[in-house]
Structure 1
Amino acid sequence: MPKVGYVRIRSLARSRPAASAGPPLRVRPPGTGAPRDALPALALFAAVRLAGLLAVVLTNALADKPLVRGLAHSWDSRWYLHIAAHGYGHLIWISPQGTVQTDWAFFPLYPALIRVLTTTLPLTPGRAALLLAWTAAGVAAYGVHRVGRHLYGRAVATALVALWAAVPQAVELTVAYTESLFAALAAWSLYCVLTGRWLWAGTLAAAAGLTRPTGCAVAAAVCAAAGYEAWRGRGRVPARLWAGAVVAPLGWLGYVLWVGARTGDVLNGYFTVQTAWDSRFDLGAGSLRFIKGLLLHGGNVVYPAALLIVAAGLLLFALLCLERVPLALLVFSGVLVLLVVGGSGSFSSKPRFLLPAFPLLIPMARALVRAWRPHRARALVVYGALVLVSLLFGAFVTAVSHSPL
């Protein structure tokens, strides 16, 4: 394995990332990116998301809806809470199309953690689920900052966290869903890849694979980065690199095979369960049908907004490719974008599937930093507008719209 020197970032606005298919992963000197460096970014993240929570509280009050029930017992949250209380195999739902939807479609780590909290603390399942989601959101924001700090320096890292807090679908960090937990595990797994902590990267990827179906994106990122490093080292790589690559997909594969065994079809059982939820990879056929129907017949405001968010995700991925970011970030974001565009299912849910793909915001974060000194007022206006849109959209989809989150 070739030795890698330290890197000193002299100008945050002019710094360049490690190439996705060129230089090896770089390691910063000890002390760089200390926790105190992240405090301004984390404070801004907390302020934006607290404002989002207050917007949801106010909207719930105006709509005469109970707050905790609206945040902890909506859509998928009810399935997670039921699994936490009763385990798997005790809840089914007959869809309007007559398909039998079972709780095996939901991955186990989040409900297991809810069960642990309700067992050890005097919390209801709903409050435990919210505590987990909010705590994981903060851990995820810190992980996002560490990734940005490692690659570009403090200014870009702060901008990256600020932008992630203000994306329209960031309200999902406020409700009892798995996005916060998944984003936290993904961000720290990617950070471990960038810093050469391969066994930790694989372990966190395996945990992400037990959290969401899209956990395969984290495993793919770890395995791709490990394979690239092994190729660069011509096979002379530490055993922990191979161990991380082997461990990374075990969480996702383990649950998929377990569901298959329960259904009597080890290899295809899980995908049959997902098909009953109209969730399958159809190379974008479902997305094209949705867009055609939306253009011909219109729909709830949530659906055009979801289409714009997905289109923005595609554009940002193209810009990310031009940034020559490390391979792990590119693979992680690319797999998530591919699953969103190529998968079927409710289109209103697609924006939240893109929420953990924080590397997509790197081009915007770097542009924001470049514009900060010469055009500080304009940068503040643009960011303020993003925050306002995020707050309004989040309040609407959680407390007003009846579309699936």
Structure 2
Amino acid sequence: MTATALPEAPPGSPSRPGSAVRRAAPALLVFAAVRLLGVAVLAVWAQAVGKSAHKLLSGRWDSLWYQRIAEHGYGYTLHLPGGRVHSDLAFFPLLPWLEHSLAALTPLSTADAGLAVSWLASLAAAWGIFAVGDRLHGRRTGILLVALWAVLPTGVVQSMAYTESLFTALAAWALYAVLTGRWVWAGTLAALAGLTRPVGAAVVAAVWAAAALALYRDRAAWRSDRWMLPGVVLAPLGWLGYVAWVGVRTGSPTGYPDVQAGWGNGFDGGAAFARFVGRQLSAPPFVSGIALLAAVALLLWLFLRGVRQGQPLPLPAYTAAVLALALTGAGYFGSKPRLLMPAFPLLLPLALALARLRPRRSALVLTVVALASAGYGALWLNGSGPP
């Protein structure tokens, strides 16, 4: 089976907000339980080694850059030895805007506002992921899809003042809007996703792919659905707007790619990633290199499996773009698992496989993985952690 456009009817799709909340409640409770477990294990681990779990979640790495933008606006540049230049223009503005607004309206500090935004966004992401899974394959699959996203090894990032939760929430609901024919909502959410991360282009790809297929099947589709064209036009405005603004700010049409290059980022077709894997395979024991190749093979298998299972076209279009942008980037390798987190449609084949098991067995599998994920997250943040 190949990828299709849009399912004609969802297995379950409550029309009233109250019934929609009740339908999604088990998925949200499972997600909250997994994330609370992860934070609790992190807190215990951090205390044991003399660190602050609060600081690990809200005040390190990229979180500090977002807080600085929220408090002072853009304009900070860090010059490093060796000629590298780190400019805050590399960071898209939606999260710091929300941090600034929440801190201004409440007694929360900017750091705590960032945590609040991330935690609320993670619940919104879980709900959006459930809505997609529920529409395509029913309530049980939707719940399991959320659970799998929650127990990812890097799932602790969902509780950090990072953009992954916010972006995934916007992407998931944009995909749901496309699946349900809500073009203006899809375009608006895609535009907001484009103000959150560079990979917002993947959400634009999903909206445009769905519109292109609709037009392929019926050239007059944009006439019969008058909201399609506005949604298509809205979708790229956030991403294009910020990139254009950086170009004006730097006085160069290649301003944003230049800023990224200062951080050692950019897109090289996967050359840097290939060199990194090659170094891991160049000397014994070769375990790291083999594991990396196996991980990439698993990602590609899950993608192709999803296509064969008939995922509607917006999902593989979105997933392919996220995969391509993450794996062909020239940035720090340790950030790639985090960059892949928004690609939740990759988990649909696994959710369907778990749905075929007895509930007790699937619950046991997820419990074991959740415990392992919580332990890994605590170890990771107390060690090198995400860049």
In structure 1, which of residues 189, 209, 214 is the aligned counterpart of residue 199 of structure 2?
214
1:273 and 1:343 mapped to 2: Cα distance?
14
1:189-212 Cα offsets, whole Å, 9 max, x none, are: 000000000000000000000000
State the alpha-carbon separation in 1 of the partners of residues 211 and 56 from structure 2: 42
Equivalent position to 1:402, from 381, 384, 387: 384
Q: What's the CA shift for 1:314?
A: 2.8
The answer to whether the 8 Å contact 2:277/2:289 transfers is: no
1:121-132 alignment, distance < 5 Å: 121-132=106-117
Secondary structure of the residue aligned to 1:168 is coil
Higher mean Cα deviation, 31-40 or 209-218? 31-40
Counterpart CA distance in 2 for 1:340 and 1:232 is: 32
Q: Distance in 1 between matches of 2:288 and 2:30?
A: 27
Q: How does 1:3-402 map to 2 (within 5 A)?
A: 20-21=3-4, 24-28=6-10, 31=14, 34-89=20-75, 91-237=76-222, 238-266=225-253, 268-296=254-282, 310-372=296-358, 376-377=360-361, 379-399=362-382, 401-402=383-384
Which letter does structure 2 place at the counterpart of 1:382?
A: V
Conserved 8 A contact 2:129-2:172 = yes
Partner of 1:7: none
For each residue in 1:297-316, what CA deviation from the matched residue of structure 2 results, as whole angstroms up to 9, or x when unmatched? 689x9999877655533332
Instruction: Assess, with a 3 A threshold, how the Cα gap between structure 1 residues 174 and 403 changes in structure 2: closer, same or farther.
Output: closer
The one-letter amino acid paired with 2:247 is: G
Whole-angstrom distance in 1 between the partners of 2:322 and 2:220: 29
Which secondary structure state, in structure 2, belongs to the residue aligned with residue 119 of structure 1?
A: helix
Shift of residue 335, structure 1, vs aligned partner: 0.4
Question: What's the secondary structure of 2:97's corresponding residue?
Answer: helix
Asked if the contact 1:306/1:347 (under 8 Å) is kept, the reply is no
Deviations 1:255-284 (A, max 9, x none): 011101111112x11001101111111111
TM-score normalised according to structure 2 size = 0.93
Matched positions, count: 380
Please report the RMSD computed on the Cα atoms of aligned residues, expressed in angstroms: 2.2
- Name segments (4+ residues, structure 1) moved above 4 Å: 301-311
Deviation at 1:24, TM superposition (A): 4.3
Q: 1:211 to 1:308 in 2, by over 3 A?
A: farther
Contact 2:267/2:325 (<8 A) preserved:
yes
Question: 1: distance between equivalents of 2:175 and 2:189?
Answer: 9
* Counterpart residue identity of residue 77, structure 1: S
Q: Please list every run of 5 or more consecutive structure 1 residues that lacks an aligned counterpart in the other structure.
A: 1-15
Deviation at 1:286, TM superposition (A): 0.5
Deviation, structure 1 residue 96? 4.0
SS at match of 1:101: strand
Deviates more, 1:113-122 or 1:388-397: 388-397
SS in 1 for 2:154: helix
SS of equivalent residue, structure 1 residue 402: coil
Question: 2:60 & 2:301 partners in 1: Cα distance?
Answer: 31
Alignment deviations for residues 125-165 of structure 1 (CA, whole Å, 9 cap, x no partner): 11000000000000110011111111111111111111111
CA drift of 1:321 comes to 2.0
Q: What's the % identity of the aligned pairs?
A: 45
Q: 29-38 or 280-289: which moved more?
A: 29-38
Change in Cα spacing, 1:41 to 1:140, as seen in structure 2 (3 Å) is: same
Partners of 1:313 and 1:354 within 8 A in 2 = no
After TM superposition, the structure 1 stretch with the greater mean CA deviation from structure 2, 315-324 or 345-354, is: 315-324
Q: Per-residue deviation at 1:38?
A: 1.2
One-letter identity of the residue aligned with 1:319: R
Distance in 1, matches of 2:217 and 2:134, equals: 25
Cα deviations by residue, 1:302-343 (Å, 9 ceiling, x for unpaired): 999877655533332122222120010111111001111111
Shift of 1:239: 2.2
Q: Which residue of 2 aligns with 1:10?
A: none
Q: 1:36 to 1:370 in 2, by over 3 A?
A: same
Unaligned stretches of 5+ residues in structure 2: none
Alpha-carbon distance, 1:169 to partner: 1.2
